Amino acid sequence: MSVASVGRAARASVSGLPRAFWWLWASTLVNRLGAFVATFMALYLTLERGYSASFAGLVAALHGLGGVVSSLVAGVLTDRLGRRPTMLAANVATAVTVALLGFMEHPVAIAVVALLVGMASNASRPAVQAMMADIVAPEDRVRAFALNYWAINLGFAVSSVGAGFIAEFSYLAGFLVEAALTLACAVLVYVKLPESRPVRDAAAGGDGRADGELGLGSVLRDGRFMAVVGLSFLVSLIFTQGSVGLPVAMGSEGYSPADYGLVIAVNGVLIVLVQLPVTRYVEQRDPRRVLVLSALLVGYGFALTAFAGSLAVYALTVCVWTLGEVINSPVQMGLVVRLSPVHGRGRYQGVYTMSWAVAALVAPLMAGFVIDGFGAVWLWAGTGVLGTVAAAGYWFLMRDLPSAAASGAEACAGTTSAETRAGAEPPEAGAGAGAPGAGAGASETGAGASETGAGAKAGATT
C-alpha cells in the first residue's frame, strides 16, 4: 500500500464529521489519558495495601455497583436535563472522588469511596453516546463510534504505560493526575460543547415512540434491545478480566505492575493502529457475522491466557481478544443507536451502559472467587464458554433483523436540537438528505460525508 493510498484512507476516515464531534472526541481523549485508577486498582490493593484478591474483587465490584445505579439515573438526566449538564456534573464529581480515594487507608473507607467513584465515572457515558448520536449523521455513526473508541484507546495506551511506571514510585500520584485530567475534561466540555438534546416541535406530528413520554419501563420491555443488552453483558464480562483477572493472575506469578502495564498497553496500541482500517472493512460486512466473530475472538483470546508463560505470550493473547474488541465496539454501538428512539436515546444508552456496569460488578467477584478457589486456568476456560454463548446469541438475535434501509427513516420528524433552533446554519448541500435527525452540528457535515460511500451506508448497523 502506497503512502498516498494510506493518506486517502485516513482522510476518508476523518472527513465529513461535524465540529462538535471533534470537541467531544478531544474531551474523550483527555479523559482517557488519565485513566489510571480503574486499570491499577487491583494491583494497588493487593501489592501496595496487602489485601487479598477477594477484597480487591469486592472493591472493584462496588465500583461496578456504583456504575449500575448511575447508568440508569444518568440516562434519565441525559434526556431531561441535557447531555452537556450531565457530562459536566459527572466529570467534576469524578475528579473529586478519585482524588479522595487516593487518601483513603481504612478498608471500609476505600470501599465506600470506590462506590462513589463508580457512580461518578459511569454517569457521563450515556450523555456522551447520546450526544454522538445527536450530532453525527446516521450513515457516519459506525465510523464516528470507531473514531471515539480510537481516542479512548489512544489515551489508554499512553496512560497504561505511564501509570505502570508511576505506580513504581507513588500510587497517590496516579490518583491525583487522573483527577486533574478529568477536571480538564469538564472544562473542555463547558467551553466548547453546545447542548445537542433534540427538542420536540409541537406543530409536527410524531408517533408515541419518538415524541411521547418514554419511561425506563418502556426500555426494559423492548425485547430485542434488552437481548442486545444481555449479550453486551456477556461480552463485557469477558473484557473486564483484562483489568481484573489478568493483573491479579500476573501478580500471583511474580510479574510487576510495569510488566502488566506493558502487556495491557498492547491492547491500546493495537487498537490505535488497526481500529480505523478494520472499521472501514467491517462496516461493509454483515453485522451479524461481525458480532459473532467478535464474540469468538474475545472469548477464546482470553482463554488462551491459560497457556501464557511469558510476557510475549501474554501480549499475543491480548492481540487476539483486542481484534475482537476492535470489530465489536463500533458495530454494537451502532446497533444500539439504531434500536433507540430519538427522544429516548439517553435512557436507552443508560440501560446499555448498565450492561457494562453490571459486568464490572460481577466480573471482579467472579475473578476473585475463581482464582482464589480454583486457580486462574478455570477463569480463562470460563471466558471461552461465555464467548461461545455470546456468539450463538448474536447469530439467533439478528436472524430476522431488518436492514437499516428497511427499518425506515429515523423517527425525528419535527425535532431539532436546541442549538439548531437558536439559529444554526442550514445544512450544506453536501450533507444531503441522508442525515435525518443528525441534530446539532449536522450542518457542518459538509460534502466530505459522501466519502463514506454507498457500501458504508449499506453495511452500517445504524
Asked if the model's pLDDT at residue 444 lies above 90, the reply is no
Q: Are 272 and 155 in contact (CB under 8 A)?
A: no
The number of helices, as runs of H, and strands, as runs of E, in the chain is 20, 2
In a domain, 279, yes or no: yes
Q: Give the burial class of 422: count Cβ atoms within 10 A of its Cβ; 0-12 exposed, 13-18 middle, 19 or more buried.
A: exposed
- Answering whether pTM is above 0.75, one says no
Q: What is the rounded distance in angstroms from the CA atom of residue 121 to the CA atom of residue 59?
A: 15
Asked if the model's pLDDT at residue 403 lies above 60, the reply is no
In a domain, 435, yes or no: no
| Domain of residue 289, CATH code | 1.20.1250.20
Number of domains the chain contains: 1
* Domain carrying residue 126: 17-196+219-408
In a domain, 448, yes or no: no
Q: What is the rounded distance in angstroms from the CA atom of residue 179 to the CA atom of residue 100?
A: 9
Average pLDDT over residues 82-106: 91
| Tens-digit pLDDT profile for residues 316-368 | 999 999 999 888 877 887 788 788 787 788 888 888 888 877 887 788 778 87
Average pLDDT of the residues of the chain: 75
Q: What are the residues whose beta carbons fall under 8 Å from the beta carbon of 84, sequence distance 6 or more?
A: 127, 131, 189, 190, 193, 194, 195, 196
263 or 243: whose pLDDT is higher?
263
89-107 core/surface letters (b: 16 or more CB in 10 A; e: else): bbbbbbbbbbbebbebeee
Supply the pLDDT for residue 435. 33
Beta strand residue intervals within 78-129, DSSP E? none
In a domain, 338, yes or no: yes
In a domain, 96, yes or no: yes
Q: What are the residues whose beta carbons fall under 8 Å from the beta carbon of 101, sequence distance 6 or more?
A: 37, 110, 113, 114, 117, 175
Asked if the model's pLDDT at residue 83 lies above 50, the reply is yes
| Tens-digit pLDDT profile for residues 127-168 | 888 888 888 887 777 788 888 888 887 777 777 677 777 777
Q: What are the residues whose beta carbons fall under 8 Å from the beta carbon of 50, sequence distance 6 or more?
A: none
In a domain, 417, yes or no: no
H/E stretch holding 206 reads none
| % the chain with pLDDT above 70 | 79
In a domain, 167, yes or no: yes
Q: What is the rounded distance in angstroms from the CA atom of residue 333 to the CA atom of residue 303?
A: 25
| Tens-digit pLDDT profile for residues 230-244 | 998 999 899 888 877
H/E stretch holding 26 reads helix 19-33
In a domain, 11, yes or no: no
